[in-house]
Amino acid sequence: MFLSDGALFTGDTLLIRGTGRTDFQNGDPRTAYESIFGKLLTLPDETLVYPAHDYKGETVSTIGEEKAYNPRLQVSSADQYAEIMNGLNLPDPKMMDEAVPANLSIGYHPDDPELHAHTIEAIEALRRFEEDGALFIDLREAGERTKTGVIPGSLHASYGSLEEAVRPGGLLAAVAAQSRTPPLLYCAYGERSALALKILKDAGIGAASHLAGGVEAWSKVGGPLIGPED
């Protein structure tokens, strides 16, 4: 969010007659409430509001208009706002689980030779699985794991918590130190796992690899999936 000369660029937090979703990838309606009501709505009513996008063709509003007409702002507490947001039951945006982590990073280049050297195709990953020669690390969020299933025996360290997991004493730091098998990272389609390689390398875990195409590719070659335990 940026404020400049009476114009507020709200990103996906405050929209025109709506607010940004909080139901995926570590979203928190109460945190959103504090940002909207504790910061944005304290600005003068004449402040222009420019959201990152709008599905109805609108381009600009004002703080005063949103206070008066935005249905999601007609609440009196964080709990009431959270109840509204948690009850939307909207379908997942297409590719959102890949877009968010990619937006948080500079990105990666699929043709990078170093990335290619640490990329494992699904059929090879399945062979290693069947021979008990792979330590799978699931980088997806809990909702994805429940919806799609997990590779049996894999450990869970979501992409959002990865930097904590590779610190001394973290899950991946401990696993990498004790295991003779390098970690094989996977996500839904392969984007997060590719981005995660640099995080592991910077933490001194340079032997890790990632599953090309993620769970989607794994399923296509007949790789087993089971319900998550956590």
Domain check: are 61 and 123 in the same one? no
Question: Where residue 168 sits, what CATH number does that domain have?
Answer: 3.40.250.10
Q: Do 146 and 175 form a contact (C-beta atoms < 8 A)?
A: no
Q: Would residue 123 count as lying in a domain?
A: yes
Q: Distance between CA 31 and CA 135 in Å, rounded?
A: 35
Task: Note the pLDDT of residue 221.
Answer: 97
Amino acid in the structure at residue 182:
P
Give the structural domain span for 162.
Answer: 96-220
Q: Would residue 151 count as lying in a domain?
A: yes
Q: Which of 86, 119, 136 is the last residue of a domain?
A: 86
* Total structural domains within the chain: 2
Q: What is the pLDDT of residues 139-164, one digit of tens each?
A: 998 888 998 999 999 999 998 889 89
Domain check: are 107 and 208 in the same one? yes
> Is the whole model's pTM more than 0.85, yes or no?
no
Task: Note the pLDDT of residue 30.
Answer: 92
Q: In this structure, is the dihedral angle defined by the CA atoms of residues 117, 180, 230 and 161, taken in order, positive or negative?
A: negative
